[in-house]
Amino acid sequence: MRKFIADLILKIIGWQVKVTLPAERKFVLIGAFHTTNWDLPLAILTFWSSQKRIRWVAKKQIFSWPLGYFFRALGGIPVDRSVHSGFIEQVASEFANEDEMILCLAPEGTRSKTEYWKTGFYYIALTAKVPICLGYVDFPGKTTGFAQLLYPSGDIHRDFEQIKRFYQDKSGKYPEKTGPVRLKDEA
């Protein structure tokens, strides 16, 4: 039923879904470029269309009443961004407790323009020993999806070159809010 609803909504609004489902049952999925609140509904419709359940993290403030229950039902995990300890290990350990888990993260960490990407997604995947799947919401092409897998090697600079190549032809709703795909030490 979800697939039917998602496909119908996407068709009505003129969006295409391009999904290549990985054989792996556990992976970290990154979604870029995050420039608008519309990214989340489009991502959810993409997952419903592909019949995959995702988990995602967001600042704890959006999980307050009345939408908190709804966001948790959609796979949301509230995060207190003011606490900066143990997040990577805590999230990575969740993979060990699940037979199947897709954790979706926005590497920019905000809808505002950033000078570099946060690397938590990379270290969660490396710690959990799961691949990273590259996902996108491309507003100019009205296309959303995910495809390419990256197995983190531990050489983050080399791996980021592959990530940069994947996203070079994709754009968020507000290109002026799109920062470069690069590491903090490159900024």
Inside any domain, residue 185: no
Structurally, the chain folds into a number of domains equal to: 1
Inside any domain, residue 81: yes
| Amino acid 81: pLDDT | 67
Cα–Cα distance, 169 to 166 (Å, whole number): 7
Q: Which residues pair with 30 in a beta bridge?
A: 105, 134
Inside any domain, residue 165: yes
- How much of the chain exceeds pLDDT 70, in percent? 97
12-26, 50-64, 141-155: segment of lowest average pLDDT:
50-64
Q: Is the pLDDT of residue 85 over 80?
A: no
> Do 103 and 28 meet the contact criterion of CB atoms below 8 Å apart?
yes
- Residue 111: pLDDT band (50, 70, 90) is confident
Structural tokens at position 180: 């470069």
What residues make up the domain containing 59?
2-173
pTM above 0.85, yes or no: no
Q: CA torsion, points 170, 175, 181, 184, in degrees to nearest 10? A: -170
Inside any domain, residue 155: yes
